[in-house]
Amino acid sequence: MSRYPFEFFNDIGREQSADRVRFVLRAVIEPMAAKRHCASLRNISRDHCMLRKAVPSDLLALKAVRSSVVENILSDPTKVTDDDYDLYVANPGVAVWEENGEVVGFSAADPRNGNIWALFVVPGFERNGIGSILLAEACACLKSAGIGRAWLTTDRNTRAERFYRAAGWEHVGEKDNELLFERSL
What is the residue extent of each domain of the chain? Answer: 14-184
| Nearest one of 156, 127, 161, 138 to 32, comparing CA atoms | 127
pLDDT digits (tens, 9 = 90+) for 133-155: 999 999 999 999 999 999 999 99
**Can you tell me the distance from the alpha carbon of 156 to that of 78, in angstroms, rounded to the nearest whole number?**
22
Question: Could you read off the pLDDT of 24-65 as tens digits, one per residue?
Answer: 545 554 444 333 333 333 334 445 788 889 999 999 999 899
The domain made up of 14-184 has a fold known as Aminopeptidase (3.40.630)
Per-residue pLDDT for 105 more than 90? Answer: yes
Reported as a pLDDT band with limits 50, 70 and 90, residue 5 is: very low
Q: Tell me the mean pLDDT in the region 8-17.
A: 43
Measured CA to CA, the distance from residue 117 to residue 106 in angstroms comes to 11
> Which helix (H) or strand (E) covers residue 85, if one does?
helix 82-90
Distance CA 135, CA 27 (A): 10
